[in-house]
Chain A
Amino acid sequence: MGIRAVLTRLAGGAPQPVFAVAGEGGLPALRRLALVEGIELVSTPRAASTLLIVGRIPDALNDPLRQIHDQLARPRHTVVWGEQSFSPLPRATLVAPGEDPIPALGQRDRDHEAGEAPAMPDADPHPWRGVGPYGQGGRGMTGGTPFGRALTGRADDRDGLTLDQLPLAVGPFFPALPSGLVLHVKLQGDLVQDVSVGENPFTRRPGDPPLPAADLALFERALSEPVPIAALELARAAHHLWWLGQALAVHGLAALGHRAWRLAADVADVADGPAPFHAAEALSRRFDRLEIAVRCSRVLSWAIAGADSEGHGLPLAVVASRGLGPVARAAGQHEDARQLDPAYRALGFQPVVHSQGDTASRWRQRLAEIRQSLQLAGAAAEAQGPTSTPSGLVESPRGPITPAGHGPSHALMSLVADLVRGLEWGDAVAAVTSLDLDMAEAARPVGAGVAV
């Protein structure tokens, strides 16, 4: 049909909507992809026709991933950008880890006829069940299980009423939550009455393939050898800027989030590259402008202040004792592994601390730490700049790490359930976002650890 051909040619010019899923070790590559102009990362699989899987997917995530694949709009395509073939989706296009996935994505996108079939079997998960030959009879008001799925039951509410409560498993690939985090919530209206965190799907089992390079490889290197402080601090600033972009997108400021990601990519490029760390000055000025835009949004501060700081959420003492890194420092703890390092002390390092311990404090803390990191990088910006002193303890962006134990996210995960209980859904997402979790890091054993 002529119109269809015209539309197809027109559609080629628009950005390709992609629903991206990050497995183990996939997040850094995925973040870079968000900046490419021909790709648009969407927040629901229905809006996309292409599923992009970055990094290694453990077996526990196979079924959710097949479900997501089926929820994509037809014609659907899958591109796996990682280290192995993904057996549940045999028709996926494979891209090796070092390669650019854009050509494969574009090629699948143009392939309108050959969409993939559903990965899950064509069977009703909850068929109508009755007793008699026509499905009639049985227990319950309408006999059998009405419409295949049940209607929710009731539970008491703090208002003194007994109303419906919806148990919901918010899955591993919910876009506003960290990849791999499963929250079993009981919602009444949009209030989270009860929550339990599902098992971490990235938990390693014997026989799993070796771990990919850590997201925070530079900090793990600093455990045993001297690393230029400028590189460390720029890597830290880049990490927090990636977090900032993601958090801004969750709060509705997608364009500002994009700006933060572009700055993060530039900072990371300087950190990874050879010595011209004097670029830190220009980056610092760019960050100033971004920070003004973020801080000037009074509306954002309302959104972040939220129910968290009005008596709900976690008490300050709990956050202070169970938190780590920026989360603990936002709750008044003056703990930073960098202050034990003489090279840092020579640069005049003092930990930045905020006192409230709520979501707004954590935002302010990270913005202040970005600024501090860029300033430290600028101060240490000579070619033979000062290097860190290797000891058994390094302050990574999420918290202190030692050569044995789990990543800092492991301790932070224990805060999630208590933090979210009693909050409205929007506030719950804002609170979890402010913790900066990485489920894959939480499951990483020996190689990176936390001083618990």
Chain B
Amino acid sequence: MTQDAFALAALRPATSPLVAVAMVGAALAVGIYLVAVIDALVAAAVAGRSTTMRRQLALPFQRAARLLLQAPTTTEHPDAATSALASASLAALAAGGLVVVPFDRRLVVADVADGIVLFGAAMALVMVAVYLHGWSPNSAFPLIGGYRFVAQALSYEMPIALVLIGTALPAQSLSVAAIVDSQHSLWNVVRQPLGLPVYLIAVAGLAFWGPLATPDAADLAGGTTAESSGPPRLAWTMARAAVLVSASAMGAATFLGGWWGPLLPGPVWMGVKTLALSSVVILAGHLLARVRLERFVTVAWALLIPLALLDILEGGLLALVAR
């Protein structure tokens, strides 16, 4: 089994930097746009507003134009370097997580042997990016938002890492491309049913979306975004959507069989599966209230981690039996 993995890897050529940047950039750009459209559609449906598809398709561009034309603001004594660094690094981390995800059998930017570890490292640093975004304006409510997110980040780190390790067991490799290859007979969502729900909850925490939108909460007057306006505000919104897209793509690759699928080409299937996972998180965002952080932390440690460990146990036993 390991020999096959190496043989398949040999078929994948190394991508040139220009192609790499173009691929990831295009994937993120399309993903961010579609996430914005789906979010607006779901919001309109839940609110009972009637709206046309055409209006919703144009709306992300119109909102972006409005933000680009608005003037940026600063506070009295902010930390200018970290405030510039926050949105840029959040987007960069999202892109960094996406580089290890294969879009097709031979189409992956960075087929590293430990793709899951690289993804985990990128997602761990999201905590730093969001915290800096809250700390840099030197304002009370963004600061509270930043510290809230640190508690949340420390709690979702473990479940997300553990369920991804669970998917690595049948593939005997930490490389995401190998994990996708190992799902040619059966998707991991069927083999390890506990994995995807735990993963989705952790993704909601990672992208601070919906029930876990604690750093940018309404009771903090917008939290870390309370002092941002104009292009920096747009950059933050886009970066957050990029994190959601990147984590959903990883979930599609590790749980939903990646580019495997009949009829349609691989990248299309990846896109469909990524959007499906993003839509689940977006829907939860409009139907579930924002959690009370203490309660979420208790749930993450006392429920999600044991579930993830159970998932690993079950996946491991199945992998041994299937050997």
Q: Please determine whether B62 and A11 come into contact, CB atoms closer than 8 angstroms.
A: yes
Q: Which of B264-302 contact A (CB under 8 A)?
A: 286-295
A: number of interface residues (CB 8 Å): 59
Q: How large is the interface on B (under 10, 10 to 19, 20 to 34, 35 or more residues)?
A: 35 or more
A427 vs B148: C-alpha distance when bound (angstroms): 13
Q: State the CA gap A23–B184 with chains docked (Å).
A: 64
Q: How far is A75 from B230 in the complex, measured between Cα atoms in Å?
A: 11
Q: Mark B45-67, 1 if CB is under 8 A from A, else 0.
A: 01111010001001101110110
CA distance A303 to B289 in the complex (A): 8
Q: Does A207 contact B (CB under 8 A)?
A: no
Quick check: B218 and A250 within 8 Å, CB to CB?
Answer: yes
Report Cα–Cα, A174/B220, bound state, in Å.
9
Given the complex, which residues of A lie within 8 Å of B66, measured CB to CB?
10-11, 14, 17
Provided the pairs A43-B222, A46-B229, A189-B147 are in contact, do residues A259 and B46 lie with their beta carbons within 8 angstroms?
A: yes
Which chain B positions have C-beta within 8 A of A142? none
User: Which residues of chain B from 228 to 256 have a CB within 8 Å of any chain A CB?
Assistant: 228-230, 233
- Chain B at the A interface: mostly helix, strand, loop or mixed? helix
Question: For B148, what are the chain A residues with a Cβ–Cβ distance below 8 Å?
Answer: 190
Contact: A252 with B218, CB < 8 Å?
yes
**A300 CB contacts on chain B under 8 angstroms:** 288-289
Contact (Cβ within 8 A) B43 A255: yes
For B227, list chain A residues within 8 Å (CB).
44, 46
Do the beta carbons of A255 and B288 come within 8 Å of each other?
no
Stretch in B21-29, B69-77, B104-112, B115-123 with 4+ CB within 8 Å of A: B69-77
Closest to A430 in B: B219
- A250: chain B residues at CB < 8 Å are 218-219
Q: Are A429 and B219 closer than 8 Å at their CB atoms? A: yes
Rounded to whole Å, the gap between the CB of A158 and the closest CB of chain B is 16
Does A139 belong to the interface (CB within 8 Å)? no
- Does B144 count as interface, using CB distance less than 8 angstroms? yes
Contact of A251 with B147 in the complex, beta carbons under 8 Å: no
Given A73-B71, A299-B289, is A256 in contact with B47 using a C-beta cutoff of 8 Å? yes
B26 to chain A, nearest CB (A): 22
Q: Are B286 and A13 in contact (CB under 8 A)?
A: no
Q: How many whole Å from B177's CB to the nearest CB in chain A?
A: 36
Report whether A253 and B69 are in contact in the complex, using a CB–CB cutoff of 8 Å: no
Q: Please report the C-alpha to C-alpha distance between residue A311 and residue B293 in the assembled complex, in whole angstroms.
A: 18
Is A318 an interface position by the 8 A CB rule? no
In-complex Cβ contact of A168 among B68, B71, B140 (8 A): B140
Tell me, rounded to whole Å, the shortest Cβ–Cβ distance linking B263 to chain A.
Answer: 35
A250 to chain B, nearest CB (A): 5
A118 to chain B, nearest CB (A): 12
Q: Which of A10, A42, A71 has the most CB of B within 10 A?
A: A10
List which A175-200 residues lie within 8 A (CB) of chain B.
175-176, 187, 189-190
Q: Does B42 contact A (CB under 8 A)?
A: yes
Q: Are A256 and B46 in contact (CB under 8 A)?
A: yes
Q: Give complex CA distance A14, B61 in Å.
A: 9
A294 CB to nearest chain B CB (Å): 9
- Distance from A291 Cβ to chain B, minimum over Cβ atoms (Å): 14
Q: What residues of chain A have their CB less than 8 Å away from a CB belonging to chain B?
A: 4, 6-8, 10-14, 17, 37, 42-44, 46-47, 49, 71, 73-75, 112, 147-149, 166, 168, 174-176, 187, 189-190, 248-256, 258-259, 262, 293, 297, 299-300, 302-303, 305-307, 425-427, 429-430
Of the A-B pairs whose beta carbons lie under 8 Å apart in the complex, a sample of 13, sorted by A's number, is: A7-B69, A10-B66, A13-B62, A43-B222, A46-B222, A46-B229, A174-B221, A176-B220, A253-B286, A255-B46, A300-B289, A307-B294, A425-B220
Known pairs A49-B70, A73-B72, A174-B221; list 4 more (Cβ under 8 Å).
A11-B65, A73-B73, A190-B144, A426-B220
Question: Which are the 9 A-B pairs with shortest beta-carbon distances?
Answer: A252-B290, A300-B289, A14-B62, A258-B47, A10-B65, A255-B46, A73-B229, A11-B66, A74-B71
